[in-house]
Structure 1
Amino acid sequence: MPIIRGNDVIAQAQSGTGKTATFSISALQKIDTNLKACQALIVAPTRELAQQIQKVVVAIGDFMNINCHACIGGTAVRDDMNALREGPQVVVGTPGRIHDMIQRRVLRTDQMKLFILDEADEMLSRGFTEQIYDIFQLLPQSTQVNLLSATMPQDVLEVTTKFMRDPVRILVKKQELTLEGIKQFYIAVEKEEWKLDTLSDLYETVTITQAVIFCNTRRKVDWLTDKLTARDFTVSAMHGDMEQGQRDVIMKEFRSGSSRVLIATDLLARGIDVQQVSLVINYDLPANRENYIHRIGRGGRFGRKGVAINFVTADDVRMMREIEQFYSTQIEEMPMNVAGKCPSQVYLRSRPYMLIAQQISSKQPHLYTSRCGLRLQLPITVQG
C-alpha cells in the first residue's frame, strides 16, 4: 500500500467503499505507540465527519493502546487544550480548530509523520484552502501528505502540486463513480412551489427505513422542516448554523433510527456513514456535479441497495443532463411501478393521487394527478 510505503498519495474511491478504514489502518501502521505526541493529523471539512473518523480510528486501534482526539469547532477550547497536552498519537479535526491549536502551540507538529486530508476536493476548492496551506506550512518537511475523496476534479489535482512530492495517484474513471446499487430517478415538477406537495405525497407513499432529503440552503432546510412538520410529518433537520450540541443530538437520533427522515444541506453529503439510509431525495439539485455523487452516496453504503430521487424543474434539466453525461449514468423518470425497481428497504404503497410523473407517450407532455385531484400538465420534456 503506497501510504504504508511512505509515498504521498492522492486516492479516490466511490462513496461507501471503505476509504476511512483504509487510511486509518495506514496511519496506525506508522504510529510509534511509545511516543506520546501527535504523529498523524487527519483533517475533515465537517465536525460530524471528524467525529466519525475518530470513532473508526479508535475502533481499529483498540488493541494498540492508541490515543485519538477529535479537535473540532463548537466545543470548549480548554477541553481541546487539555486533551492535546496529553499527547494523543492521532488527532482528527476541522481546519479552523486544528489551525488554532497549532497557533496556540498546544498541538505540536515536530513529531508529525502523516498529514491526511479527507474529502480533499471540498477542502481545497472552498473556503478552507488558506487554512490548509497555513497548517501545511507548520508541518515538518518530511511529513507524508495524503489526499482522499470520492471526487477529485482536475483543478484540485493541479493545486496539489504546490505541497505534494511526486504523489502516487489512485483515481477512478468518472463513469465508474456512481454506485451500481443505487437506482436513480427524477420527478419532473413544473413549479418550485409544487415540490412540497410532491414530497408530501411521496412521504405518504413510500415506506422507508431511513432517508436524507437535501436542500441547497440552510433557509430552505428550515422552511421545508416547518412545512412538513405543519403537515404532521416527523422529520429532523441539520445544517451549519446549529449549535454543536444540537447537531450531535440530531445525528445520534438519526444513527440510532429513532429519527428516520433527516433534512440537510451539503453538510451531511460528505462522508457521513449511516448504513440504514436507503433513500436520498434531492429536493434541490446540487449546484455542482461533485456534490451530486456525494449526496446519493449517503445511500447504498458498503454494497447495500438504495434509491435516489431528484426533483427537477425546467431550470434543472440542463444540470441533470450534465450530471448524466459527466458520469456516464442514466437518471430515469420515476415510473408508476417504482416498487418493482426499488430495493427491499423501500416499499411503495398504492395512492391514486401521487405526484409521480407519468409520460403518456414520447411526444406528449407529462401529466400528474395531485393530492387535491388537480390534473397538472407540464410543458417541459425531460427525457432526451
Structure 2
Amino acid sequence: MGFNRPSRIQENALPMMLAEPPQNLIAQSQSGTGKTAAFALAMLSRVDTAQKVTQCLCISPTFELAVQTGKVIEQMGKYYPEVKLAYAIRGNRVERGTKIQDHIVIGTPGTVLDWCSKLRFIDPKKIKILVLDEADVMIATQGHQDQSIRIQRMLPTDCQMLLFSATFEESVWKFSERVIPDPNIIKLKREEETLDTIKQYYMVCKRNQDKFTAICNVYGAITIAQAMIFCHTRKTAAWLASQLCREGHQVALLSGEMTVEQRADVIQRFRDGKEKVLVTTNVCARGIDVEQVSIVINFDLPVDKDGKTDNETYLHRIGRTGRFGKKGLAVNMVDSQYSMEVLREIEEHFNKKILKLNPNDPDDLIKLEDIHN
C-alpha cells in the first residue's frame, strides 16, 4: 500500500489493538492520519475464516465513510481472499431470513442495528471486534448515538471495542465512556497542530459573482491537482458548479438530496481524477479521502443552523487538504461584516492567523503560487 513506516496513530494504536488478550481503545486522531488502515489491520487479524459468520463490525456515520473504509479493507486484504466483506448500508438489499456469512460487516448505525436485531442477518454474540469510527460525527447525528449504544449492548462482554474520534469534546467523552469499557486511551495532536501544514487565507468578495471571479483568478494563478469548494446551500452549489462548467472546468457536484448511489459515483469519479473540482455542501466535509486535493475553498464560511460559527466543520473542511503531513492550502471567501466576524472567531478558536489576499492583485496571487509549491 506504499507505507514504509507507521504514522503516529498506527505506531501507538497497533500494539494495543493486536495484543492478546484483546484490549479496548479510545483514540483521538484526525482523518488523514492512517487510522483506517490501523483498525482495518486489527479486524483482518481477528477473522477466523473457518467460521462462516460475521466476526467484525465497523460502524461509520455516513454511507460514504462506510464505503471508503471497505475499500481500505479490500486493499489490505487483497492477498487474503478468503475474508469476505459486506456493507450494511441503505439500499443494500438482503433476502429476509438470510444469515450473513461475510466475516466483516461495515455499515451505518441504523442498518447495522436492523441487521443485528430486527432482521437477524447477524448473530451479535459471534462478534469479536467492534469499531466505532468518527464518533464525533456519529453523536452529532440524530439517533446514531442511541443506535450505536444498542448495538454495543448486544455484543459479548469479551468483544474488543475500538472507538476513534477526531475531537474529544465533553459529549464525545461521555459517549465513549458509555460504549467502551476499561479502555486504553490515546490522544494525539491537538487540532491546531493539524493546521500547521495548511496555509490559510481569506479574500473579500461582496457578491457571489465576485467570489466566482476570484476562484477563476486563483485557478489561473496556481497549478491545482484537485480542488474542493464548500457552499452553504444546495442552490449556491448548483449555481457555482454550472458557472465553473461554463468556464470549461471539469466539475462534479455533491449534495444531500442525491441518492446514495449518485453520491458514491460522484466521489469515485473525483477520486479517479475524472473531475478536477468538487463543489459540495457540508455532506462531504468529513472523512472523504482524496489524496490529490491541493486546495480547499470555502465559498461560504461554515455556520451551524443557528448561524453560529462552526469551528468543527471548518477544521474538517480544510482538513481535506494537507493529508498525511503534506502541504495544503485553504482560501476563505468573506462577503459581509457577519462573515468577517465568523472568520475572526475561527482565527481565535484555532489560534492561527488567516492572512488577507486581494483576488484582483496578480502579486498577491503569485504569493499564493509560491506557497502552494
TM over 0.5: yes
After superposition, give the CA deviation of every residue in 1:148-172 in whole Å (9 maximum; x if it has no partner): 1322222211222222213222113
How is 1:194-205 mapped onto 2 (pairs within 5 angstroms)? Answer: 194-205=210-221
After superposition, give the CA deviation of every residue in 1:194-237 in whole Å (9 maximum; x if it has no partner): 43333343344443111111123333322322343355543110
Q: 1:339 to 1:326 in 2, by over 3 A?
A: closer
The 8 Å contact of residues 145 and 175 in structure 2, kept in 1 or not, is answered as no
Aligned residues: 341
**Percent same amino acid at aligned positions?**
36
How is 1:58-77 mapped onto 2 (pairs within 5 angstroms)? Answer: 58-64=74-80, 65-73=82-90, 75-77=91-93
| Alpha-carbon distance between aligned partners in 1 of 2:295 and 2:204, rounded to the nearest angstrom | 18
1:218 aligns with 2:240: no
| Alpha-carbon distance between aligned partners in 2 of 1:34 and 1:20, rounded to the nearest angstrom | 25
Which TM-score applies when normalising by structure 2? Answer: 0.83
| Alpha-carbon distance between aligned partners in 1 of 2:349 and 2:185, rounded to the nearest angstrom | 21
Q: Which residue of 2 aligns with 1:303?
A: 325
Q: 1:338 to 1:85 in 2, by over 3 A?
A: farther
Q: 1:176 to 1:168 in 2, by over 3 A?
A: farther
Bigger helix share: 2
Q: Which residue of 2 aligns with 1:357?
A: none
1:330 aligns with 2:353: yes
1:135 aligns with 2:151: yes
| Aligned-partner SS, 2:194 | coil
The 8 Å contact of residues 249 and 276 in structure 2, kept in 1 or not, is answered as no
Q: 1:166 to 1:217 in 2, by over 3 A?
A: farther
| Aligned-partner SS, 1:186 | strand
Q: 1:343 to 1:198 in 2, by over 3 A?
A: closer
After superposition, give the CA deviation of every residue in 1:176-207 in whole Å (9 maximum; x if it has no partner): 44243321111123456643333343344443
How is 1:305-324 mapped onto 2 (pairs within 5 angstroms)? Answer: 305-313=327-335, 314-324=337-347
| Alpha-carbon distance between aligned partners in 2 of 1:229 and 1:188, rounded to the nearest angstrom | 23
Q: Which residue of 1 aligns with 2:128?
A: 113
The 8 Å contact of residues 112 and 143 in structure 1, kept in 2 or not, is answered as yes
The 8 Å contact of residues 125 and 156 in structure 1, kept in 2 or not, is answered as no
Q: 1:153 to 1:26 in 2, by over 3 A?
A: same
| Alpha-carbon distance between aligned partners in 1 of 2:172 and 2:100, rounded to the nearest angstrom | 35
| Alpha-carbon distance between aligned partners in 2 of 1:340 and 1:212, rounded to the nearest angstrom | 17
After superposition, give the CA deviation of every residue in 1:340-381 in whole Å (9 maximum; x if it has no partner): 54333xxxxxxxxxxxxxxxxxxxxxxxxxxxxxxxxxxxxx
How is 1:1-384 mapped onto 2 (pairs within 5 angstroms)? Answer: 1-5=15-19, 6-64=22-80, 65-73=82-90, 75-78=91-94, 85-102=99-116, 103-127=118-142, 128-191=144-207, 194-287=210-303, 288-313=310-335, 314-334=337-357, 335-344=364-373
Q: Which structure 2 residue ranges, 5 or more long, are not aligned?
A: 1-14, 304-309, 358-363
Which TM-score applies when normalising by structure 1? Answer: 0.81
Q: Which residue of 2 aligns with 1:352?
A: none
Q: 1:177 to 1:109 in 2, by over 3 A?
A: farther
Q: Which moved more, 1:328-337 or 1:277-286?
A: 328-337
| Alpha-carbon distance between aligned partners in 2 of 1:93 and 1:166, rounded to the nearest angstrom | 25
- Which amino acid in structure 1 is aligned with residue 319 of structure 2? G
